[in-house]
Amino acid sequence: MQTKRQYEVVFIVDPTADDEVSKLTESFSQIITDQGGVVTKAEPMGKRQLAYEINHHKDGTFVLLEIEGSGGEIAELERRMRVNDRILRYLTVRVDEDRRRAEKLKDRRARKAAKRPERGGQSGGSSRRGPSMEFAEASSE
């Protein structure tokens, strides 16, 4: 059995096809579920201006899909996006390793913070004094 991996897919839809965005999102979600994956989040991010012109379009409607699957459904999804004329661009990123790494760092920071003693006021004596402060105090005595 293959492990489930997490992916983020962002695609840009032709701005003249505003009414088709929800239909495209539903059809792509159906492709993923038919192939055995799970769509955890489907978020239309709205119409935005593009950094450069793509197929004579200066703006597009962005959609984010978060998917859990084995990888085969991603290949099918990308194939369908490639042949669809309404999709200007798409990008698929595998994010499970990055999220796992971020969780480890977060846990490590939490453990370090728990081990570290609480810092109160100046009740530590000369813990934060430099050599010049110690010299000044010694010479004044």
Residue 78 lies in a domain: yes
Tell me whether residue 36 is in a domain. Answer: yes
> In a structure prediction context, what are the per-residue pLDDT tens digits for the chain, which is 141 residues long?
467 888 999 999 988 887 888 898 899 999 899 888 899 988 888 889 888 888 888 899 999 999 998 888 888 889 998 998 889 999 999 888 777 777 778 877 887 888 877 765 555 555 555 555 555 555 555
CB count within 10 Å of CB 69 equals: 20
Task: Count the domains in the chain.
Answer: 1
CA–CA dist 73, 69 (Å, integer): 7
Q: Supply the pTM of this predicted model.
A: 0.67
Range of the domain at 47: 5-97
CATH number at residue 25: 3.30.70.60
pLDDT tens digits, one per residue of 65-79: 999 988 888 888 899
127 belongs to a structural domain: no
User: What digits encode the pLDDT tens for the residues 43-69?
Assistant: 888 889 888 888 888 899 999 999 998
What b-and-e string marks burial along 31-49, b requiring 16 or more CB atoms within 10 Å of the CB?
A: bbeebebebeebeeeeeee
Is residue 76 assigned to a domain? yes
